[in-house]
């Protein structure tokens, strides 16, 4: 089956070369020198009045039957890199008639999928060259955001059942149904187009783009990533900032600890573990976030309870309802090691123990009995 698919793609290539000639014209937007509006389908935030200058890089991306196509870098008014893009043109054939797929792909500075622009003059098509509807473009956008799609692990011939290609039909016209595993994630009637687009976005170009960014990396870039709403940028910045930069940007980092995803939170708390001992008062924003963070991060935070101030411990005694059983036991173990407990903490414990709504109240009841 793999041999059939390879031969079939060669037939498509020859057919398209015969129909279009060896030179393929690029879409109109390939001549643009600036980008002043957000890509139509985009995963990043686009700030108002942004204007990005477009220039070529030494990098190219290889498209089957067409060859190398240029990778552009988009820079802001300060000449700082913001995005990468490429104006992709590749043939898609169906029922013996070949058309060109025009699409402008965008990548983040880390080589992740950022979005795409469609061509108004040359819309994407499906079987019988029916034009994509907006919902089809949106489905493609969702597919391209899935870096772990089944398309990553399957060859094109493994995505259809009982393929029976003719000698000139395109892959999208294979006689056979799209396998159930992938059917819901691709645009109906455009399996080949989706497959090609996904592999262009998530191919080896990702590491090439990231390496190119690394060559231009500076503190300003890292700080822009740190202040981005994009999780991968946040993580990259956190992984590359040194301890002095962590301290200098503590307000933003403590904000991310409260609002970020669990992966970001756990990385921050592990990377700042020494700060709980060296500067307990500085870490107060972390303790303030305790009721708002996920369970796993809360457990990581409570590992530092022995360095918390008395005021923090008192506050936590009013928040026992958000703690799991093990977290509650960890907190009570800390109280056991104290010479004495304040009247306020004891009152908070008694109130929790007396509550009929708290399933872990019995643990505090036992603690108070042992304490007295």
pLDDT at 344 over 80: yes
pLDDT at position 19 over 60? no
Lowest mean pLDDT among 97-101, 132-136, 301-305, 352-356: 97-101
Residue range 223-245, pLDDT digits in tens: 999 999 999 999 999 999 998 99
Q: CA 11 → CA 91, 156, 192, 231, distances in Å?
A: 12, 15, 15, 43
The string of pLDDT tens digits covering residues 37-50 is 999 999 999 999 99
CA 183 – CA 180 distance, rounded (Å): 5
Q: What is the pLDDT of residue 27?
A: 45
Residue 96's pLDDT is: 56
pLDDT at 2: 43
CA angle centred on 26, ends 30 and 32, rounded to 5° = 10
- CA distances (Å), 277 to each of 49, 254, 301, 306, in order? 45, 16, 13, 9
Q: Does the pLDDT of residue 1 top 80, yes or no? A: no
User: How confident is the model at residue 14, as a pLDDT?
Assistant: 43
Look-up of token digits 């498209």? 63
For residue 219, CA distances in Å to 54, 84, 134, 267 come to 23, 20, 40, 20
Instruction: State residue 13's pLDDT score.
Output: 41
Structure confidence at residue 25 as a pLDDT band (50, 70, 90): very low
Three-state DSSP at 367 gives helix
Q: How many angstroms separate the CA atoms of 295 and 347, rounded?
A: 26
Q: Quote the CA–CA distance of 39 and 36 in Å, as a whole number.
A: 9
The reported pLDDT for the residue numbered 171 is 44
What is the average pLDDT score of the chain? Answer: 86
Of the listed ranges 62-66, 102-106, 299-303, 314-318, the one predicted with least confidence: 62-66
Q: Look at 2-6, 141-145, 260-264, 334-338 and tell me which has the smallest mean pLDDT.
A: 2-6
Rg of the chain taking only CA atoms, in angstroms: 28
pLDDT of the residue at 191 = 87
pLDDT in the model for residue 184:
80
Give every CB contact of residue 235 below 8 A, 6+ residues apart in sequence: 263, 264, 267
pLDDT value of position 176: 52
Q: What is the average per-residue pLDDT within 83-96?
A: 80
Backbone angles phi, psi at 62, to 5 degrees: -90, 130
Whether 4 has a pLDDT exceeding 70, the answer reads: no
Determine the Cα–Cα distance for residues 8 and 124; give it in Å rounded to an integer: 21
Q: Is the pLDDT of residue 178 over 70?
A: no
Does an H or E element contain 57, and which? Answer: strand 52-63
What is the spatial distance between Cα 171 and Cα 169, in angstroms, rounded to a whole number? 7
More confident residue, 171 or 96: 96
Mean pLDDT of 258-263: 94
Q: pLDDT class for 21, splitting at 50, 70, 90?
A: very low
Helices (H) and strands (E) in the chain, counts: 17, 7
pTM: 0.82
């Amino acid at each position: 089956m793999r041999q059939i698919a390879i031969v079939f793609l060669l037939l498509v290539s020859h057919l398209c070369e015969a129909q279009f000639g060896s030179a393929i014209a690029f879409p109109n937007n390939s001549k643009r020198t600036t980008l002043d509006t957000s890509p139509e389908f985009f995963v990043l935030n686009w700030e108002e009045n942004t204007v990005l200058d477009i220039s070529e890089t030494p990098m190219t991306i290889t498209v089957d039957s067409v060859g190398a196509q240029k990778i552009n870098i988009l820079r802001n008014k300060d000449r700082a890199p913001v995005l990468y893009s490429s104006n992709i043109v590749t043939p898609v054939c169906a029922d013996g008639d070949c058309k060109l797929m025009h699409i402008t792909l965008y990548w983040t500075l880390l080589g992740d999928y950022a979005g795409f622009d469609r061509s108004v003059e040359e819309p994407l098509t499906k079987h019988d060259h029916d034009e994509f509807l907006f919902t089809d473009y949106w489905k493609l956008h969702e597919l391209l955001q899935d870096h772990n799609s089944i398309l990553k692990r399957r060859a094109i011939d493994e995505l259809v059942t009982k393929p029976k290609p003719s000698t000139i039909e395109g892959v999208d016209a294979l006689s056979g149904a799209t396998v159930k595993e992938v059917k819901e994630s691709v645009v109906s009637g455009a399996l080949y187009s989706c497959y090609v687009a996904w592999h262009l976005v998530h191919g080896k170009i990702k590491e090439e783009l990231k390496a190119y960014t690394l060559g231009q990396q500076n503190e300003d870039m890292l700080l822009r990533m740190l202040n981005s709403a994009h999780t991968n940028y946040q993580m990259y910045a956190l992984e590359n900032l040194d301890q002095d930069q962590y301290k200098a940007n503590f307000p933003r980092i403590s904000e991310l600890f409260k609002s970020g995803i669990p992966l970001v939170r756990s990385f921050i708390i592990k990377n700042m573990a020494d700060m709980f001992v060296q500067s307990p008062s500085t870490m107060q924003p972390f303790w303030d976030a305790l009721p708002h963070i996920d369970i796993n991060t809360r457990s990581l935070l409570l590992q530092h309870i022995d360095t918390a101030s008395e005021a923090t411990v008192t506050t936590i005694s009013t928040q026992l309802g958000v703690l799991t059983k093990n977290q509650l036991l960890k907190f009570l173990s800390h109280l056991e090691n104290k010479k004495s407990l304040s009247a306020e903490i004891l009152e908070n414990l008694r109130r929790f123990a007396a509550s009929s709504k708290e399933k872990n109240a019995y643990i505090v009841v036992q603690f108070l009995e042992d304490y007295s």
